[in-house]
């Protein structure tokens, strides 16, 4: 193991220790809530990235998986089912729902999967909002504490980012990326595009369902149709693109940048921040498809080239 890798691991462990200690140091609930919001979006963006970034399958209905996971956990929790069982059930039900739309849609090429997931999310949003009663009370919230919710989201963020990291390094992850680059080429190499897309969908939906489960545990004033809102699809997707799709660090950077800029704009320009984010998203997709990760890579490469140019010019100047 080289020195650079050791330093990276040490810095990562130190950063995680700081995150663990933050609730013990920070006593203001609004700051802890902001950190939870960052972790929430970070987990959603990373979950979306497994399917959209690594496998190249655009999911426009992530809110369906987020919502069904959240709804399942909340209802089971209210019925007295232990939270751990309710929490895992949210992820499992999300996978079942994902396969219902994914198995038929993935057998067809083109935008059928994107259209199908978008339609599924909208149908669930309307159905849950109209047929199920509002629910904002849970007996388990009578002794509500913010710190356990923070640690749940922190653990979930570490788990999801870790899954993404090990998946990318695995044979299955390489197969997913091959499918992204070209399904026909992948099939010619013996890689089943359908199996890899369904695997990516299952993992992404399961992780998204778990995030929804954590949201059901976190949110006090809970309404059953709230987690089915389109914002739970398009905001994480925008964060993944802003940071850089198909990378581990991209959704992390994108979520921090998005939430920080959002808070700044809301305080200064109010609802105009939606237009600003829309324009920003369009500009990034058009001129910087690799997101902030690509921008940083280009800057670093330009700096290295300039440094090499200066070094090669120095001997010539001395000879002159």
SS (H, E, C) 263-299: HHHHHHHHHHHHHHHHHHHHHHHHHCCCHHHHHHHHH
How far, in Å, CA of 18 to CA of 175, rounded?
Answer: 36
Mean pLDDT of the chain: 87
Task: Delimit the domains of the chain by residue range.
Answer: 28-234
How far, in Å, CA of 86 to CA of 82, rounded?
Answer: 6
Q: Tell me the C-alpha to C-alpha distance, in Å, between residue 207 and each of 40, 178, 227, 271, 300.
A: 12, 22, 15, 31, 33
Over residues 31-59, the mean pLDDT reads: 95
**pLDDT score of 96:** 96
Confidence of residue 140 (pLDDT cuts 50, 70, 90): low
The answer to whether 244 and 295 have CB atoms below 8 angstroms apart is no
**pLDDT score of 251:** 95
**pLDDT score of 284:** 80
Residue 287 region by backbone torsions, left for phi larger than 0, else alpha for psi between -120 and 50, else beta: alpha
Is the pLDDT at 222 greater than 80, yes or no? no
pTM over 0.85: yes
**pLDDT score of 141:** 59
Torsion of CA 153, 238, 118, 62, to 10 degrees: -10
């Amino acid at each position: 193991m080289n020195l650079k890798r050791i330093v990276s691991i040490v810095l990562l462990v130190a950063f995680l220790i700081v995150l663990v200690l933050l609730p013990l140091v920070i006593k203001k609930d609004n700051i802890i809530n902001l950190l939870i919001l960052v972790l929430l979006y970070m987990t959603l963006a990373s979950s979306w990235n497994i399917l959209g970034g690594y496998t190249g399958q655009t999911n426009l209905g992530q809110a369906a998986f987020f919502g069904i996971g959240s709804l399942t956990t909340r209802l089971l929790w209210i019925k007295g089912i232990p939270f751990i069982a309710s929490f895992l059930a949210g992820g499992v039900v999300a996978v079942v729902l994902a396969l219902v739309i994914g198995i038929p849609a993935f057998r067809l090429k083109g935008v059928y999967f994107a259209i199908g997931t978008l339609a599924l999310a909208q149908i669930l949003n309307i159905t849950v909002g109209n047929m199920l009663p509002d629910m904002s009370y849970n007996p388990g919230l009578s002794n509500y504490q913010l710190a356990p919710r923070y640690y749940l989201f922190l653990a979930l963020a570490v788990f999801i980012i870790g899954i993404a990291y090990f998946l990318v390094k695995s044979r299955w992850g390489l197969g997913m990326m091959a499918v992204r680059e070209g399904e026909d080429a992948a099939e010619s190499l013996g890689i089943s595009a359908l199996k890899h897309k369904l695997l990516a969908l299952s993992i992404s939906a399961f992780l998204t369902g778990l995030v929804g489960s954590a949201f059901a545990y976190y949110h006090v004033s809970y309404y059953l149709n709230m987690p089915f809102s389109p914002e739970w699809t398009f905001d994480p997707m925008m964060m993944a693109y802003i940071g850089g799709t198909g990378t581990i660090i991209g959704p992390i950077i994108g979520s921090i940048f998005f939430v920080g800029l959002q808070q700044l704009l809301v305080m200064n320009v109010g609802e105009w921040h939606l237009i600003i984010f829309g324009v920003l998203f369009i500009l990034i997709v058009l001129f910087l498809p690799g997101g902030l990760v690509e921008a940083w890579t280009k800057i670093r490469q330009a700096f290295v080239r300039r440094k090499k140019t200066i070094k090669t010019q120095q001997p010539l100047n001395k000879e002159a």
